[in-house]
Amino acid sequence: MVKAVVGANWGDEGKGKITDMLAKEADIIVRFQGGANAGHTIVNDYGKFALHTLPSGCFYSHTTSVIGNGVALNIPVLFREIQEIVSKGVPMPKILVSDRAQMVMPYHILFDQYEEERLGGKSFGSTKSGIAPFYSDKYAKIGFQVSELFDEETLRDKVVRICETKNVLLEHLYHKPLLDPQELLATLHEYKDMVAPYVCDVSSYLWNALKEGKEILLEGQLGTLKDPDHGIYPMVTSSSTLAAFGAIGAGLPPYAIQKVIVVCKAYSSAVGAGAFVSEIFGEEADELRRRGGDGGEYGATTGRPRRMGWFDCVASKYGCRLQGATDVAFTVLDVLGYLDEIPVCVGYEIDGEVTTEFPTTVKLEKAKPVLKTLPGWKYDIRGIRKYEELPENCRRYVEFIEEQIGFPITMVSNGPGREDIIYR
Ligand code: GDP
């Protein structure tokens, strides 16, 4: 059976924690899209970790961690991450890297920085991890697959050819130092040595695992609103964040994905530019940011303060629908325990009309939130393990949101740890 753990919104919903928790019962955890541009924060018995590339199941010795073909693989980042967790006492994880995964090249990172510089105030707020240039090259068919590292002659020719193209842009558009093919080739030889022990025909491995009845978890990065097709284009990421893409980015049959666990945070946060209808500002936002997540809402990759907002039913209903939610995991509910009253965005007012359907970007820019205020519960709910033991107003909050989004909230997370979970 395959389960996908994906985000309903902008990312940072707590997918890492939910994956780490579900990985206990899983055999294989697969990353199927994205790269080291976003992070998952995980708190467990070994300590606190920010993972960018390794799947969040890598802390268990019974699991295999897989980097699927859909990932933007930054080989040095992967290796730094492995070293970091091992140095903190985590047993060396079993890792497999798809021979069809493509690699983030050093110049992708440079191009990402140069382009943001060039765009100045009109930039996308990229994390400058090279993700957009990476996927542009992948689809322009000038990317490098891991498998290509193992064919020296073709590799050398391709490196020369790619440097020629890239150098035209570097010289004439960005006015930056040119690439040296020899240097790039030497870097790729290092990558080859680092990755060689882990390279695998992942789709075949997963197919066999499925036949043996293994439990596979697909771990998504970011959330629906960052999907290039269904998100807030162009303020999106460059690979699909939807569970459906898990089939492609891992090499699995689409019908194999039987459960889609959509992680939805009890309030909203976003990073980068773009419309954010339920956004709040000033002291109200600062307080939620300070209290949010586990130690504040600051980017796991960049440390940037996240933009904060109230729960957005319109965006979350849409987010869950596009993911194809079979289950919603409602996270970080404990954080709201300080509020007397909790506003929730239940509609968007666009040109004088109220809608609960999430619009395209141009309309979204004009949307104003329609808020409904629910009573707070003024209670620290951490440590509670039974749904009935939550304060009444807290249950009302969960049930109100469940009704608004139209998908079943089967898990409520009330703390960052593995055991902080209430099943309904
Ligand atoms: P991801 O990218 O979706 O995995 O999310 P992040 O890791 O960026 O953000 C989630 C943050 O919230 C992390 O710091 C988690 O440790 C923390 N977290 C997850 N679930 C809960 C929860 O239920 N309560 C609290 N207080 N923190 C949580």
Q: Which of 17, 48, 304 to mutate to test the pocket of ligand 1 (most atoms within 8 A of CB)?
A: 17
pLDDT at 248: 98
Selecting among 12, 99, 112, 137, the annotated active-site residue is 12
Cβ contact 261:329 at 8 Å: yes
Q: Locate the ligand 1 atom nearest the alpha carbon of residue 17 and give its number.
A: 19
Q: Which of 92, 24, 66, 91 is nearest to 208 (CA)?
A: 66
Cα dihedral sign, 316-318-322-327: positive
Cβ contact 238:138 at 8 Å: no
Give the residues surrounding ligand 1 with Cβ less than 6 Å away: 7, 11-17, 38-41, 43, 293-294, 300, 331-332, 334-335, 413-416, 420
pLDDT at 253: 97
Q: Locate the ligand 1 atom nearest the alpha carbon of residue 56 and give its number.
A: 4
Cα dihedral sign, 94-95-98-99: negative
Q: Locate the ligand 1 atom nearest the alpha carbon of residue 299 and give its number.
A: 8
pLDDT at 125: 67
- DSSP-derived 3-state class of residue 305: strand
State the distance from the centre of ligand 1 to the C-alpha of 291, rounded, in angstroms.
Answer: 12
Cβ contact 52:38 at 8 Å: yes
pLDDT at 95: 96
State the distance from the centre of ligand 1 to the C-alpha of 156, rounded, in angstroms.
Answer: 43
Other residues' Cβ atoms within 10 Å of the Cβ of residue 94: 15
pLDDT at 410: 98
Cβ contact 143:158 at 8 Å: no
pTM of the predicted structure, to 2 decimals = 0.94
Which residue positions in the chain have pLDDT lower than 70? 124-125, 300-301
pLDDT at 127: 74
pLDDT at 33: 96
- CA–CA separation, 419 vs 385, rounded Å? 9
* 48: its two tokens: 């606190």
Amino acid at 415: G
Cβ contact 259:327 at 8 Å: yes
Cα dihedral sign, 210-248-202-85: negative
pLDDT at 80: 92
pLDDT at 301: 66
Check if 40 is active-site.
yes
Check if 294 is active-site.
no
